[in-house]
């Protein structure tokens, strides 16, 4: 069995990529939080949420509400 870690990542088709990017672009909350798509592959998307004061809780960590909102969008 070939090691999958050494294989290049699969790419989503241009049609699927556009559909996902368009859908994500219509999500105002993701824009408000500063989240963005970083990778789209078959059956998987990667989102990034930058750590900044606007999405932190009182102890300085990223608020769980922000991370759960991003997870819900993925």
Any idea where the domains of the chain sit in the sequence? 32-74
* 3-class state of residue 64 by DSSP: helix
- Which residues, at least 6 apart from 23, have a Cβ–Cβ distance to it below 8 Å? none
Following DSSP, what letter does each residue of 12-38 receive, concatenated?
A: --HHHHHHHHHHHHT-HHHHHHT-EEE
**Neighbour-count burial of 66, counting CB atoms closer than 10 A to its CB (0-12 exposed, 13-18 middle, 19+ buried):** buried
pTM: 0.76
- What pLDDT, on a 0 to 100 scale, did the predictor assign at position 9? 67
pLDDT of 11 reads 86
Which of 2-6, 17-21, 32-36 comes out lowest in average pLDDT? 2-6
User: What pLDDT, on a 0 to 100 scale, did the predictor assign at position 10?
Assistant: 81
C-alpha–C-alpha distance, residues 16 and 37, integer Å: 14
């Amino acid at each position: 069995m070939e090691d999958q870690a050494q294989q290049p990542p699969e790419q989503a088709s241009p049609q699927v990529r556009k559909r996902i990017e368009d859908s994500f672009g219509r999500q105002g909350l993701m824009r408000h939080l500063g989240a963005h798509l970083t990778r789209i592959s078959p059956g998987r998307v990667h989102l990034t949420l930058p750590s900044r004061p606007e999405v932190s809780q009182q102890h300085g960590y990223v608020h769980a509400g922000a991370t759960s909102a991003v997870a819900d969008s993925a």
